[in-house]
């Protein structure tokens, strides 16, 4: 056995393939993912397609749940599109890092709250907001991701407009 020590800077500056390999090896070493497991089939046909109105309703149900809202808005980013039917893929570790949450468990709690809000909204426990693989990825329908991005934009614009009404210095001159 050979051991190698890498600094955080070396890992951060390594090519993406190397960083993903390191992450995979760490997860295996910590027994957080099966070592020789085959990727399971995604149930993309069961993934809900959420409109902008659906996402606004889910957002309303998640108010007062900062962990769930942090996770929800991490899905505003483009993600990686693949498959047939297509899905958007997001790395749970990236969601954890970007959201500044403390653990993957918090990310999973947030995704669970989002899924529960969707189930409650639609009254259909068979639909899923997202799906997962055994490599630490989360998948959503592309239309749902676009609706989340639009919701994020609308929330940010409304907050900026409200701030501008209260602070004349922030008003945009046309």
Average predicted confidence (pLDDT) for the chain: 83
Residue 138 DSSP label? E
Q: With 0-12 CB in 10 A as exposed, 13-18 as middle and 19+ as buried, what is 95?
A: buried
Tens digit of each residue's pLDDT (9 = 90 or more) over 77-117: 988 988 888 999 999 999 999 999 999 999 999 999 999 99
Question: What is the percent of the chain where pLDDT is above 90?
Answer: 52
What's the token pair of residue 103? Answer: 């653990």
What's the token pair of residue 68? Answer: 């769930």
Terminal CA-to-CA distance of the chain, rounded, Å? 66
Beta bridge partners of 139: 89, 131
d(CA 68, CA 73): 9
The answer to whether the CB of 48 falls within 8 A of the CB of 141 is yes
Q: Tell me if the pTM is above 0.85.
A: no
Q: Is residue 38 pLDDT above 70, yes or no?
A: no
State the CB neighbour count (10 A cutoff) for residue 13.
Answer: 10
């Amino acid at each position: 056995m050979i051991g190698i020590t890498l600094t955080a800077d070396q890992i951060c500056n390594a090519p993406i393939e190397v960083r993903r390999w390191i992450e995979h090896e760490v997860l295996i070493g910590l027994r957080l993912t099966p070592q020789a497991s085959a990727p399971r089939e995604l149930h993309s046909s069961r993934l809900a397609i959420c409109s902008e109105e659906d996402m606004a309703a889910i957002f309303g149900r998640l108010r007062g749940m900062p962990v769930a809202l942090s996770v929800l808005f991490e899905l505003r980013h483009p993600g990686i599109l693949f498959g047939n039917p297509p899905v958007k893929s997001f790395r749970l570790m990236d969601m954890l890092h970007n959201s500044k949450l403390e653990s993957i468990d918090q990310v999973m709690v947030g995704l669970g709250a989002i899924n529960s809000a969707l189930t409650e909204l639609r009254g259909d426990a068979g639909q899923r907001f997202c799906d997962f693989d055994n490599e630490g990825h989360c998948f959503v329908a592309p239309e749902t991701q676009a609706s989340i991005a639009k919701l994020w934009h609308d929330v940010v614009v409304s907050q900026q407009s409200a701030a501008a009404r209260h602070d004349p210095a922030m008003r945009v001159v046309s």
